[in-house]
Amino acid sequence: MRNILVISGSLLLSGLLICSSANAAVLQIKNENKKDLEIVIEPGEGTVLPNKEATKRVLKAGEDRKIEVSEKDFPDSSTFVVIGKVNIPSLHNQCGPLFIDKDYRLSFTQTSTGATACHYETLHKK
């Protein structure tokens, strides 16, 4: 009887851990620009209006970073966009819409005008 309770408890705990990590996207972001890059992550499909829910981080030139985006960050949206900002405005600096239940590899590259462009690919969850 005691072994059954231990096994049941272990299964319940592992199930909770799997469910809590299932609804999170892991972003592997590389800044291939020669300048620092401000990363803005906001819910939905992107907007030109200021977004109170947006999160911001700065990546140094050449830096790689992993960032996790979950339902806790944006509880009312299953999609989000990642915007990279340098000093020069760009039309191609946004990746998305991306889904919270998938992982992505993103890279921001410098354009010929000194702006930045976003490129991404979906990674398979393990």
Each residue's pLDDT tens digit in the chain (126 positions)? 565 544 555 555 555 444 444 589 999 999 999 999 999 999 988 765 666 678 899 999 999 999 999 999 888 889 999 999 998 888 899 999 999 999 999 999 999 999 999 999 999 775
Kindly tell me the burial class for residue 37, based on how many C-beta atoms sit within 10 Å of its own C-beta (0-12, 13-18, 19 or more): buried
Q: Return d(Cα 38, Cα 88) in angstroms, integer.
A: 12
* Residue 6 in domain: no
> What letter represents residue 18's amino acid?
I
**Range of the structural domain that residue 87 is part of:** 24-123
* Residue 32 in domain: yes
Where do the H-state alpha helices sit in 23-123?
Answer: none
The CATH number for 51's domain is 2.60.40.4150
Name which of 94, 93, 101 is nearest 123 in CA terms. Answer: 101
The total of structural domains in the chain comes to 1
Query: pTM score, two decimals?
Result: 0.77
* Residue 81 in domain: yes
* Residue 18 in domain: no
* Residue 51 in domain: yes
Alpha carbon 29 to its chain's center? 8
* Residue 19 in domain: no
